[in-house]
């Protein structure tokens, strides 16, 4: 029960990495707020946590909107009376080069992946600063450290998340707040089959490409959730400003 008596807010918690992390945080004793735009999925994840003996609520929220970010934080404080952990997980991806990427797709990836991380952090930080403690975890990507093919806007947004993490760690470490990010490789989420489809690849061919890394497979959402738990817990008490790579060795090549 590494998160007992703590409250966590997970954005994009309705599926994939966000869902797995919210459920794991609940199992580890945290009371959990899940945000996202899919109400059916959000309530289902909250129910899954509660069926496991935890406490959870779902708040429909769009991280691109400052007022909705503030509302998510305020509702968390109203229901649970505190906020200890923020996991900025919401993200979108469109596989295009600079030439192929539309301005709309550029803006959407920047707004959700980078601006959303900024807006949610901006909403949560005043409470954490007041209490003199807190943990913020940002979900970046291996492609936030090294470039990838046909992913210009995504790489730019996730690279921004890495440096935003470091800047926030410097600014708020003296206030007792730790800020780190996770940089996953390919993970078995709904985003992967959609990426394969948009690239015109058969799923088996796509997986074969993913298997070129040292561990020879894609990751699971549970594996990334465990990395988030490590950063959320006191096990990482002397870590801030770090970009934790969890990618099966993809960046080691």
Residue 195 lies in a domain: no
What Å distances lie between residue 78 and 2, 28, 81, 82, 239, CA to CA?
A: 23, 22, 5, 8, 30
Distance (Å) of CA 110 to CA 90, 104, 252: 12, 10, 27
Rounded to whole angstroms, how far apart are CA atoms 179 and 170? Answer: 9
3-state secondary structure of 187: strand
Instruction: Tell me the β-bridge partners of 59.
Output: 35
- Residue 226, CB-side half-sphere exposure with 13 Å CA sphere: 6
The answer to whether residue 105 is domain-embedded is yes
DSSP-derived secondary structure letter, 194: H
252 is a domain residue = no
Say if CB 155 and CB 96 are below 8 A apart: no
Burial of 50 (0-12, 13-18, 19+ CB in 10 A): middle
Residue among 58, 80, 106, 154 flagged as catalytic: 154
Q: What is the CATH number of the domain that holds 233?
A: 3.40.50.720
pLDDT of residue 122: 98
In a domain, 151, yes or no: yes
Q: Tell whether 34 is covered by a domain.
A: yes
Q: Which DSSP letter does residue 148 get?
A: -
Write out the E strands in the chain: 7-10, 31-36, 56-60, 85-88, 134-139, 177-184, 243-246
By C-alpha distance, which of 112, 138, 140, 33 is closest to 80? 33
Domain presence at residue 93: yes
The Cα 106–Cα 204 span in angstroms is 29
Tens digit of pLDDT per residue, the chain (253 long)?
Answer: 999 999 999 999 999 999 999 999 999 999 999 999 999 999 999 999 999 999 999 999 999 999 999 999 999 999 999 999 999 999 999 999 999 999 999 999 999 999 999 999 999 999 999 999 999 999 999 999 999 999 999 999 999 999 999 999 999 999 999 999 999 999 998 888 888 888 888 888 888 888 788 999 999 999 999 999 999 999 999 999 999 999 999 999 7
* CA 172 from centre of chain: 19
Report d(CA 250, CA 253) in Å as an integer: 6
- Phi, psi values for residue 183, rounded to 5°: -120, 85
Known catalytic residue at 206: no
User: Which helix or strand (DSSP H or E) is residue 166 part of?
Assistant: helix 152-172
Mean pLDDT of the chain: 96
Domain count, the chain: 1
CA 77 vs CA 7, 68, 132, 242: distances in Å: 9, 14, 16, 27
CA distance 76 to 5: 14
For position 175, what pLDDT does the model report? 98
Q: Would residue 208 count as lying in a domain? A: no
Q: Write out the residue range of the structural domain in which residue 100 sits.
A: 7-189+218-247
Residue 143 lies in a domain: yes
Is residue 33 within 8 A of residue 8, CB to CB? The reply is yes
**How many secondary structure helices (H) and strands (E) does the chain include?**
9, 7
């Amino acid at each position: 029960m590494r998160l007992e008596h703590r409250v966590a807010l997970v954005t994009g918690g309705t599926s994939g990495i966000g869902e797995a992390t919210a459920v794991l945080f609940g199992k580890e004793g945290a009371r959990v707020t899940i945000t996202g735009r899919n109400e059916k999925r959000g309530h289902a994840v909250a129910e899954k946590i509660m069926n496991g003996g935890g406490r959870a609520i779902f708040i429909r929220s769009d991280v691109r909107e400052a007022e909705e970010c503030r509302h998510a934080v305020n509702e968390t404080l109203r229901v649970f009376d505190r906020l200890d952990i923020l996991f900025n997980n919401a993200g979108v991806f469109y596989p295009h080069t600079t030439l192929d990427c539309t301005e709309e797709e550029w803006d959407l990836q920047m707004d959700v992946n980078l601006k959303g991380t900024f807006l949610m952090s901006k909403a949560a930080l005043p409470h954490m600063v007041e209490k003199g403690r807190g943990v913020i975890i940002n979900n970046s990507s291996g492609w936030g450290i090294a470039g990838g093919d046909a992913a210009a806007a995504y790489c730019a947004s996730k690279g921004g998340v890495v440096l935003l993490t470091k800047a926030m760690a410097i600014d708020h470490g003296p206030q007792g707040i730790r800020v780190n990010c996770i940089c996953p490789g390919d993970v078995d989420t709904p985003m992967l089959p959609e990426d394969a489809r948009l690239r015109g690849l058969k799923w088996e061919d796509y997986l074969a490409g993913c298997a070129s890394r040292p561990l020879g497979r894609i990751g699971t959402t549970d594996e990334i959730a465990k990395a988030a738990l490590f950063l959320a817990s006191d096990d990482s008490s002397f870590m801030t400003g770090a970009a934790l790579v969890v990618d099966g060795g993809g960046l080691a090549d």
